[in-house]
């Protein structure tokens, strides 16, 4: 799965580094103590097309590329592209489909969403 940024495609990767970053970014902090739990929030954010959740997931999943979006302005460019060409909910379903395929993240995706996400992932992207 890829995003478009600065005239090129960047692959989104969901390895341990990305998952750790997502857990931290979407997690909770109570009285200065980080409680994590961001992975549990990832699927609801993707399912609803939550703009902030999607932006944090895109940022974390693209950091392996040196030319990935890093600033809010650069992320806005990516998010505008997603909004115009797919919509946030469709993009979220596509990411869920990818997560359902991977051994490390398969358990995060509810059974009823695995099939739905896989079907969306198979559909051609709008250009």
Residue 125: inside a domain: no
Predicted pLDDT of residue 127: 43
For residue 92, being part of any structural domain is answered with: yes
Is 73 contained in some domain?
yes
User: Quick check: is 127 in a domain?
Assistant: no
Parent domain of 68: 2-120
Predicted confidence band of residue 112 (pLDDT cuts 50, 70, 90): confident
Beta bridge partners of 28: 36
* pLDDT digits 0-9 by tens, 63-103: 999 999 999 999 999 999 999 999 999 999 999 999 999 89
Number of domains in the chain: 1
> 2-40 burial, b for 16+ CB within 10 Å, e for fewer?
ebebeeeebebbbeeebbebbbebbeeeeeeeeeeebbe
pLDDT of residue 12: 95
What pLDDT was estimated at residue 115?
A: 64
Residue 34 covered by a domain = yes
């Amino acid at each position: 799965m890829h995003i478009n940024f600065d005239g090129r495609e960047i692959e989104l990767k969901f390895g341990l580094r990305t998952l750790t970053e997502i857990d931290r970014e979407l997690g909770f902090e109570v009285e200065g103590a980080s409680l994590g739990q961001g992975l549990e929030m990832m699927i609801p954010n993707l399912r609803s097309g939550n703009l902030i959740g999607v932006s944090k997931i895109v940022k974390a999943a693209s950091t392996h590329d040196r030319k990935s979006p890093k600033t809010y302005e650069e992320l806005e460019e990516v998010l505008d592209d997603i909004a115009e060409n797919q919509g946030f909910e469709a993009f979220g379903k596509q990411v869920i489909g990818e997560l359902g395929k991977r051994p490390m993240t398969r358990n995060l995706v509810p059974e009823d969403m695995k099939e739905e996400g896989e079907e969306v992932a198979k559909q051609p992207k709008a250009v």
